[in-house]
Amino acid sequence: MSTRYSRQELFQPIGTEGQKRLLASKVVIIGAGALGTASAEMLVRAGVGSVIIADRDYIEWSNLQRQQLYTEQDVQDRLPKAVAAESRLKLVNSEVKVKGLVMDVTAQNIDELIYDASIVIDAADNFEVRMIVNDAAIKHHVPFLYGACVASYGVSFTVIPGETPCLHCLLEHLPAQGMTCDTAGIIGPAVQQVASYQVADALKYLTGHQVTPILRSFDLWTNERADIRSVLSLKKEQCPSCGLHTYPFLSYDRQAKADVLCGRNTVQIRNAAQTPPPLNEVALRLKAAGMDVLENPYLLSCQKGEFKLVLFKDGRALIHGTSDIAKARTIYHQWIG
């Protein structure tokens, strides 16, 4: 064993045997944004044997404030996040097998992505993908480390299939999913706090230690925090995901549908939620983010740069200015949540 990990091996709960376990592990990270880059760098430096990071987006100037693997040159080159992350992480630790995948994670490809993973870390930028990954992780008995942050707020929870509640069980106990970094902003310390919780639980699990199930939430700006430690009581026997094992979010019917409108440079996205977000609430968030919003009883519209979004009362949205479905989905989740 090289001296590279000597300080980590001196930490008694890990030691040399724990380090060997890490080197034999495979971690899949869903998302190469703020949480994904923070978690990936810590795990690669810790000597996890294989790290796969999947993301559909490219690097923009607004990412550099908190997404720690990227540089100004990456923005100028318009590199996909997964490509730039792989390149940087290989420079950090050449002993780790790192693979960046430029892909839109869906119910159709998630099984192949995670079936043989040791753990899956959630760094997704939208709740639809989180629920897909949650169901797939339960299906393949792979621990799923949920995490999210916006503004100065963060939340984390580790799902251990067969032991803890899953994300589906906890839906009513999670914060409202309406806020996004594009509408409410975000500060770097909130990212690092969530990533630290996720990676700490990853290291515990991968080195053979018990992970205590705690639903953690905090606000670094107001110095508030809340830990739900009786979380096992929230596990639902009739949960469609971890109780009945019907995996509803792996069904095509539960996914937001997207279609390119012929000749219009526009993508239509149909929200899969049973109750679409109220137009007035969306309008207030967008206005608070400094966007000009036009609204009537039937729809609202707003524009930012080259892209225009029109949201209808039934949850259907038109993204004008692109025929790229992946890009349209990104805009939709950034603006609508």
Phi, psi of 212 (to 5 degrees): -75, 125
> What is the layout of strands, in order, in the sheet containing 266-270?
257-261, 266-270, 317-320, 307-312, 299-304, 293-295
**Residues contacting 182, CB < 8 A, separation 6+:** 289, 334, 335
- DSSP 3-state assignment of 172? helix
**Helix intervals (H) in 180-224:** 181-184, 188-206
In whole angstroms, what separates CA 147 from the centre of its chain?
7
- Please give the sequence-ordered ranges of beta strands (E in DSSP) within the chain, or none if there are none: 26-30, 50-55, 97-102, 119-122, 144-150, 153-159, 215-219, 224-228, 257-261, 266-270, 293-295, 299-304, 307-312, 317-320
- Smallest CA-to-CA distance from 157 within 176, 130, 183 is with 130
- Tell me how far apart the alpha carbons of residues 119 and 22 are, in angstroms, rounded to a whole number: 11
- Smallest CA-to-CA distance from 202 within 28, 9, 17, 15 is with 28
Using DSSP bridges, classify how beta strands 26-30 and 317-320 pair: parallel, antiparallel or unpaired: unpaired
Using DSSP bridges, classify how beta strands 26-30 and 50-55 pair: parallel, antiparallel or unpaired: parallel
Owner of token pair 């420079």: 91
- C-alpha distance from residue 72 to each of 59, 149, 234, 331 (Å): 9, 24, 45, 22
Catalytic residue among 166, 181, 239, 302: 181
Active site residue 181: yes
First to last CA, the chain: 46
Which amino acids are annotated catalytic? Answer: 181
